[in-house]
């Protein structure tokens, strides 16, 4: 009689879920890279101000522990700069991986790929699209795809926890729990 262990050995098509864990370096090295990248890419600020919540992002970059990252907070606090420039620059430097995000409002049918990441900027700005009368929620589809394919999910949003609950179904919210949530607070850096 076949055992479950026999199936584990020869069922290549049944692979366990395994999320990538990235350890990009020692905290101080990552913090230095973070600050340099932020200053280099965000030319809209006159003086760099290091917010306490940035340290949580730096800790995540030092060791992701197999989790994604969701940056929440008001406008003008650097979320998109961090997602679109700082994190990709650090990943490119440390792993040679290219990370590119897609604005939530531009998401269409998710492109299946070998990339290790699904990156969505500005969650909450998307609209539900109609595809020949069928409503398509591209963001929920992308989040589900990330979970189902063991991809690291990176997200920014201006929505707070209450607004997320009002906007998304329980399945999507449950999948977002795989992300480390960093709430960025402060006043806008924009002049």
What are the beta bridge partners of residue 135? Answer: 130
Residue 127 pLDDT exceeds 80:
no
Q: Which two tokens stand for residue 182?
A: 């960093």
pLDDT on residue 158? 95
Identify whether the C-beta of residue 35 lies closer than 8 Å to the C-beta of residue 146: no
Q: How would you label 114-136 residue by residue, b for 16+ Cβ within 10 Å and e otherwise?
A: eebbbbbbbbbbbeeeeeeeeee
Q: 32 φ, ψ to 5°?
A: -60, -45
The alpha carbon torsion through 179, 180, 185, 188 (nearest 10 deg) reads: -50
Out of 102-106, 158-162, 169-173, 185-189, least confident range? 102-106
pLDDT tens digits along 4-39? 888 888 877 777 777 789 999 999 999 999 999 999
Beta strands in 132-189 (DSSP E): 134-136, 152-157, 179-184
Share of the chain above pLDDT 90, in %: 50
Homologous superfamily assigned to 23-104+114-184: P-loop containing nucleotide triphosphate hydrolases (3.40.50.300)
Q: Which two tokens stand for residue 26?
A: 């020692």
What is the pTM assigned to this prediction? 0.86
pLDDT on residue 112? 62
List, in order, residues 6 or more apart from 102 with CB less than 8 Å away. 119, 120, 121, 142
pLDDT on residue 136? 62
Span 145-150, mean pLDDT?
86
Residue 132 pLDDT exceeds 70:
no
Q: How high is the mean pLDDT of the chain?
A: 88
Q: Using CA atoms, how far apart are residues 148 and 30, in angstroms rounded to an integer?
A: 30
Identify whether the C-beta of residue 65 lies closer than 8 Å to the C-beta of residue 21: yes
Residue 129 pLDDT exceeds 70:
no
Residue 138 pLDDT exceeds 70:
yes
């Amino acid at each position: 009689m076949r055992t479950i262990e026999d199936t584990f050995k020869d069922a290549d098509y049944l692979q366990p879920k395994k999320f990538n864990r990235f350890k990009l370096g020692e905290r101080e090295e990552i913090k230095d890279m973070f600050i340099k990248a932020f200053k280099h890419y965000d030319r809209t600020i006159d003086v760099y101000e290091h917010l306490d919540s940035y340290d949580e992002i730096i800790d995540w970059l030092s060791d992701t522990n197999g989790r994604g990252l969701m940056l929440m907070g008001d406008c003008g606090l650097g979320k998109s700069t961090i997602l679109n420039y700082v994190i990709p620059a650090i990943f490119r430097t440390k792993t040679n991986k290219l990370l590119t995000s897609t604005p939530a409002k531009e998401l269409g049918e998710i492109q299946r790929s070998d990339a290790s990441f699904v990156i969505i900027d500005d969650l909450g700005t998307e609209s539900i699209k109609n595809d020949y009368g069928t409503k398509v929620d591209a963001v929920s589809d992308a989040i589900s795809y990330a979970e189902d394919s063991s991809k690291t999910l990176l997200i920014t949003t201006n929505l707070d926890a209450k607004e997320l609950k009002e906007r998304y179904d329980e399945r999507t919210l449950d999948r977002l729990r795989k992300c480390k949530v960093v709430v960025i607070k402060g006043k806008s850096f924009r002049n």
